[in-house]
Chains A and B, each alone.
Chain A
Amino acid sequence: MTTDFDHVAVDDVSRHFGRRRAVSKVSFVVRAGTILGLLGPNGAGKSTMLAMLATLLRPTAGTIRFGALDPRADGAALRSRIGVLGHDLFLYPELTALENLAFFASLYQQPNAPAVASGALTRAGLSDRAHDPVQSFSRGMRQRVALERALIHNPRLALLDEPFTGLDDASTAALVARLRALRDSGAIVILATHDLELAEGLIDQAVFLREGRVASTMARPERLRSAYRDVMGQS
């Protein structure tokens, strides 16, 4: 069975928590080699949508297909092709940066995990801090380690929730370059962000969420800020 997929199709997906509708009847398709931006204010349902794409939550209604793969039937195989960077960094503060990355590289069945982890730290520009515990890092440094953790297994689908948080200008530029390289390698990148300035010129497709619903979608979005204002201003 192939674990690869060339598109992700979200079809009429809803997710309720009790009586609260976090996501309601959301549909979109994103193809390989695309960066899709999930844009919207706080509480719009972006993180819930990412959690469902990450197979951490099941939709209350609707389906998410990853090419021919079904998360219910192909869970573990599918997860080996997904990388997630969340609001929280998914790192163990007591462990060193190298131990964290080596642990996740092993968990993702990467051959020679310590070497893979070491390479990832070089990409993050943190080789000299490899043996320091993550709890001694600044927020920006932790974010860089967390990004490497999310991408350590070369995922087909990268899900990033506010990936620019805490990054300085140099790190932001490096992240933008990294995301473009991922896209060019044929990966699907879905990022949820408030930062329209950074998203503009980076994303190929935009899905505007408001109160859990799709307010608008745009292919090749330009003038994102005014488009966002127009969409969110509609009642």
Chain B
Amino acid sequence: MKIRNYKLKIVIPAFVIFFLLSVVSSSDAAELFFDAKAQEVGIGQQFQVDLMLDTEGESINAIEGEIVFPTSTLEFQEIRDGASFISFWVKRPFFNGNSVIFSGILPGGHEGTQGYLFSLVFRAREVGEATIDAENMRVLRNDPTGSPASVRISSLKLQIKEQSSVQEFIIPEDRESPEFFTPQIAKDPNVFDGKWFLVFATQDKGSGIDHYEVQENKKQKIENRNWEIADSPYLLKDQELKSYIYVKAIDKKGNERIAMLPAGNQPSFKDRYLLQIIFGIIIIAGVAVVFLLWRIVWPRLSLKK
């Protein structure tokens, strides 16, 4: 139909575009948003910002992205992920200089309006406006194909003033150890060229897991100097599985939980007590030498005198 009215030539396409945009923007899309106690802080004040997800009726089971913020106005302090709904981190949230990168999954999926991912703690540096935003976000549905869910981001704008009446955020104390856990040993032709490896994971309901350490010991004993920082999967040094394996989970406040796996193949008596046997032989040999010196050599020396 030919449009004769010139005004309609503008109005109708504009209306169509507006309608399409409104349909697109109101369609089901997960929303990533930031929750802060206040929209303004004072210089030098510490504050916490929570990263939240509203799945808008979808069940999702994987999420990744990057949280960006101006380091000129915000001084990054720490990440708190202890109560996250993420069960396993593919990339545990880490500070990358001017952003925080993360990636994780939640088996079983999550559907809800207030899915908590983690918190960032900042200190305000200078007066001005600071925007905390997210980039490269991916949210995947809890379905057999990992199909993507659309996600919209609601950034957070904060005002930093000379002074603020808002109470400063004090990082809560965490005195509880990470959760109990049981490491497992496995072997797979596609990992570490088919060698034995160790897998482990646990949660910390307070400040979150900071890192893990592992040691292998032929004796059922922890040697404090033998701990090594480790990630799962961890290639075992003792491929004969004769060692006791200890895994220590440490949270961000230094609380620890140690789990032990007994030696898969019990070490032989010789393997376990070799040092003691050698030491014992040296002692006996030493005693024998002293005895001989005293019985044979000393009398001869005395006679010569």
Q: Do A and B bind each other?
A: no
